[in-house]
Chain A
């Protein structure tokens, strides 16, 4: 974790209910963020904080801009041809879109886990964990210790400790997803973005990932994009509802799922949409 900056300090706020009186800090925030694919606008002036060491869920129907939003957070959006953004994204109060900022460095600090588990199938479990680091040209001094540490964090160690040389592709879907989370954690990110991390998993594997998300927030700021309202209700501290590229509502998850204030949120989460 980086030290707290002045501008971050200015984001410190007191009294958030979910924190039980502790201070809530925005680790990242989108400020008036818009995004386009060519002529098509995918995000419309989103302003949204991502509270430090909390889980923020982003929900909304297909095409509402959820995935685009998190891809703007670590500058993955711009790698698509014709894609552009306006507005800003702040990490610890500093723009990640600044002229002097290296996008690769941003993506290390703001890691990402994708919908479909994508381990390197023939690479061993061990090498899969280290793959992100090696691709960045880093050979960790004590690789074994690091592999164990992040696999423990990803709640996978007990299941694979005797099979570290087996290929990643031999693991079950849920294990593969936790392996991908371990690979992401090996880069020591500060923020972890998860794009529908459970949508291809069975309920047991989903429950494990959700428990893992719960545990990981002691160390990381987590954003989960999900199609499952129940999942958002289960895992998130804060929930944002997106609709056709706009942020409709953002609040404590408890509030969103018991008493949302915008009728569009109400219609969507109760299943009265479309």
Chain B
């Protein structure tokens, strides 16, 4: 971890942002686990109570935004502090969106609870646990400044996508079997889709953690490569990207330094 700031007030502000982000993440986790319990136990009252956690998440979002703006205006952060504050401004949006999706899940649970159960919802719960774990790991990586751990989370998004695919296919069979299943099946499908989106947001958080720690943007490039490879498209993705330290400009600066060093005629 980096050393503490000379200015303790500044240090306190950065710590406060960190704590609020973690609090938001904890609230999202809470929403997701309560929503799943409300689904399995058919507990409409719990689902309705869970909706209100989103308000706390929204309030935290505004507080984080506000504090980040103040830090940018008054401290003019640079280097790792700048990466941290810009990351916080982005991550806060992902966390807030996760809260909104949590609300959507609870609404669908309430609707489902008014109907007889379609089937046991084991896969949906497993999927939610996988998404929740991605978020938890992401926040742990954020606290520990562990880019490797964050990078591993990005890879796990495909597992959640696979869950969604399987659930969707199963629900299709229910719907084809009997049109009366359609209402409930589409509710369940929506819940699975919301969880899949939550995992996408957790992936964004993990990518931002990698950026915060390493100063390296891993978004999109990796995804494009992975998609290209999985579709059997031309081996664009397989080509390894140039190593980060070997950019032309870095090389030219190094050359410049060594050329400058070259004609070192030592004066007496």
Known A32-B261, A48-B257, A270-B5; judge A15-B215 contact (CB<8 A). no
Contact of B260 with A48 in the complex, beta carbons under 8 Å: yes
Known A257-B82, A270-B78, A270-B80; judge A15-B263 contact (CB<8 A). no
- Chain A's closest residue to B6 (CB) is A271
A90 to B82 alpha-carbon distance, docked (Å): 36
Chain A residues positioned under 8 Å from B2 (CB to CB): 266-267, 270, 272
Contact of B78 with A258 in the complex, beta carbons under 8 Å: yes
Residue of A10, A17, A32, A86 near B259 (CB, 8 A) is A10
Partner-binding segment picked from A23-31, A113-121, A193-201, A217-225: A23-31
A49 to B81 alpha-carbon distance, docked (Å): 29
Is A47 an interface position by the 8 A CB rule? yes
Contact of A15 with B248 in the complex, beta carbons under 8 Å: yes
Contact of A11 with B259 in the complex, beta carbons under 8 Å: yes
Is B83 an interface position by the 8 A CB rule? yes
Interface digits, B21-51 against A, CB 8 Å rule (1 contact, 0 not)?
0000000000000000000000000000000
A13 to B81 alpha-carbon distance, docked (Å): 33
Is B240 an interface position by the 8 A CB rule? no
Is A69 an interface position by the 8 A CB rule? no
Residue of B7, B79, B248, B262 near A260 (CB, 8 A) is B79
Interface positions, chain A 17-68, Cβ under 8 Å from B, are 17-18, 24, 26, 29-32, 47-49, 51
Contact of B10 with A271 in the complex, beta carbons under 8 Å: yes
Contact of B79 with A269 in the complex, beta carbons under 8 Å: yes
Residue of A250, A266, A272 near B253 (CB, 8 A) is A250
Measured CB to CB, the residues of B under 8 A from A are: 2-7, 10, 76-83, 215, 247-253, 255-257, 259-267
Interface pairs (9), CB distance under 8 Å? A31-B264, A49-B259, A229-B78, A250-B253, A258-B79, A259-B215, A266-B2, A270-B79, A274-B6
Measured CB to CB, the residues of A under 8 A from B are: 7, 10-11, 13-18, 24, 26, 29-32, 47-49, 51, 85-88, 90, 93, 95, 97, 229-230, 233, 250-252, 257-260, 265-267, 269-274
